[in-house]
Amino acid sequence: MAEVTRISRAFKDISLSFKPHPVTGDISVLKNERAINKSVQNIVETIPGEKFFNPNFGSDVRSMLFELVDYGSSALIEEQILTSINNYEPRVNNVKVQVDPRPDTNEFEVIVNYEIIGQPFPSQTFTFILEATR
């Protein structure tokens, strides 16, 4: 069986901020790499059970933030993020996740790198900080 190659013209998602467009008054739209970057971020930040009708959607990294800030916890968070993105974002591949602990500030720096399927965009990288909220 031959491998199927996905080719997409463009990606569009609505902005979850629901702020109206300043000119048209319509809900803002995210396009192409911005749409996928926001989708990846939403997957990581969504707690399983938070999305209606899809209780497994998201990642369980928030519950891991109350563990020790060390390389063992970093490895668990990396695996959780990688699994979640691979399971819930079919528009990306070659996902790489790096989580660096920062014990002095009780946080983790997360670097996510991936390629968008079917588009000539360069490899995408986005960085964010995970910290326990009180």
As averages over each run of 10 residues, the pLDDT of the chain (134 residues) reads 62 70 76 81 88 89 84 92 94 94 91 88 88 72
Return the pLDDT at 109.
94
Judge whether 83 lies within some domain.
yes
Task: Look at phi and psi of residue 18 and say left if phi exceeds 0, alpha if psi is from -120 to 50, else beta.
Answer: left
Residues with Cβ within 8 Å of residue 18, at least 6 apart in sequence: 27
- What does pTM read for this prediction? 0.78
Judge whether 30 lies within some domain.
yes
Return the pLDDT at 81.
94
Q: Structural domain tally of the chain? A: 1
Residue at 73: amino acid letter: S
What tokens does 89 get? Answer: 């974002």
Judge whether 41 lies within some domain.
yes
Q: Determine the structural domain holding residue 42 and report its residue range.
A: 12-131
**Dist CA 11 CA 77 (whole Å):** 28
Q: How many residues does the chain have?
A: 134
